Amino acid sequence: MSVATSNDPSNRQFWQIRNHRLTWGSRTYLMGILNVTPDSFSDGGQFNRLPVAVAQARYLVEAGADILDIGGQSTRPQAEEISLQEELDRVLPVITAVRQESDIPISIDTTRAAVARAAVAAGADIVNDISGATYDPAMLATVAELGVPVVLMHIRGTPQTMQQLTDYGDLIGEMRTFLTARVDAAIAAGIPPSQIAIDPGIGFAKTYAQNLEILRRLPELRLPGCPLLVGTSRKSFIGHILNQPDPQQRVWGTAATCCAAIAQATDILRVHDVREMRDVCRVADALWRQGNP
């Protein structure tokens, strides 16, 4: 595995992962969601058998995903925590199988250092931690040792408690303080600053109104040198706007939020519907990014 960070000739930062260069600012990159869980909010139970999961991974790659985000622990509100062994049993066979047929960058969606370590050994390239590496005190040191990029997300509490923890005095200011502290902790643990991405955590300890505010004020959450990842895909605040209880019927509402994020220079969008969002990104990039989309 080769993971590097540096500057390209136009002085843009990039992640070099295997044969893929993700150059920040050149275009929007798509992280395709592959939940190998029975209980995720949108697609739980659809891809929790190995042959189906591998077929979905193949579909996401063909549809235009730049990264596959594989997770075995649901983080929807009220999701129950599974055992370490169960999480390993869910994700490792999928990572191994996908890696045998593709060099697509793979991120492991986990809050456990032991899962991150095993996933990278199986072929994953990035650690995506929804807790901002706060749930497992060994996570940052593990990521530093593995030498892979990390995505640090803003959250309060846990999936069981987060929706009761939405009282902020200064929403954007408090989120920025949290993310800055987590980036500083990652750097102190030995992770190069250029290998750290941040995620505002849309829907995690945020109300409907707060989610909209975050999307309107994304530039205020940017931290120097850190690519910005945004995940709005199919989330309940979109269903609230559309009066649409079925998450899988929120594709075009998701598209609108993706456009909003791209207009504010988001680097990575984490999405379920890769084929549709690829078209959205191509047009939005042509509108709002300089150079060729």
Q: 234 to each of 26, 28, 76, 129, 255, how far by Cα in Å?
A: 26, 19, 12, 20, 9
3-state secondary structure (DSSP) of residue 218: helix
- The predicted pLDDT at position 291 comes to 52
Q: Quick one: tokens of 162?
A: 């987060």
Q: Quick one: tokens of 17?
A: 């992962």
- The predicted pLDDT at position 10 comes to 54
Task: Give the Cα separation of 25 and 228 in Å (integer).
Answer: 10
Q: Quick one: tokens of 54?
A: 């591998």
Neighbours of 196 (CB within 10 A): 23
Q: How many residues does the chain have?
A: 293
Catalytic residue among 270, 275, 278, 289: 270
The set of long-range contacts for 171-176, using a CB threshold of 8 Å and a minimum separation of 24, is: 171/206, 171/210, 171/213, 171/214, 172/213, 172/214, 172/217, 172/220, 172/221, 175/200, 175/201, 175/214, 175/221, 176/220, 176/221, 176/223
Q: What is the pLDDT of residues 9-48, one digit of tens each?
A: 457 899 999 999 999 999 999 999 999 877 444 544 566 6
Q: What is the pLDDT of residues 232-260, one digit of tens each?
A: 999 999 999 999 999 999 999 999 999 99
Q: 283 to each of 38, 101, 213, 233, 261, how far by Cα in Å?
A: 34, 30, 24, 18, 13
- The predicted pLDDT at position 9 comes to 44
Q: 61 to each of 4, 65, 187, 275, 292, how far by Cα in Å?
A: 22, 5, 32, 9, 22
Percent of all residues in the chain with a pLDDT value above 70, rounded to a whole number: 91
Mean pLDDT of the chain: 91
Task: For residue 4, name the pLDDT band (cuts at 50, 70, 90).
Answer: very low
Whether residue 282 has pLDDT greater than 60: yes
What mean pLDDT is predicted for residues 188-207? 97
Q: Quick one: tokens of 132?
A: 């901002």
- The predicted pLDDT at position 201 comes to 97
Q: Is 235 considered catalytic here?
A: yes
Q: Is 99 considered catalytic here?
A: no
Which helix (H) or strand (E) segment holds residue 11: the answer is none
Whether residue 6 has pLDDT greater than 50: no
Whether residue 5 has pLDDT greater than 50: no
Q: Which residues of 59-78 are buried (b: 16+ CB within 10 A; e: fewer)?
A: ebbeebbbbbbbbbbbbbbe
| 108 vs 74, more confident | 108
Catalytic residue among 90, 99, 235, 250: 235
Alpha helices in 217-273 (DSSP H): 236-242, 251-263
Q: What is the pLDDT of residues 172-185, one digit of tens each?
A: 999 999 999 999 99
For each of the domains in the chain, give its residue range(s) and CATH number, in order of start: 3-282 (3.20.20.20)
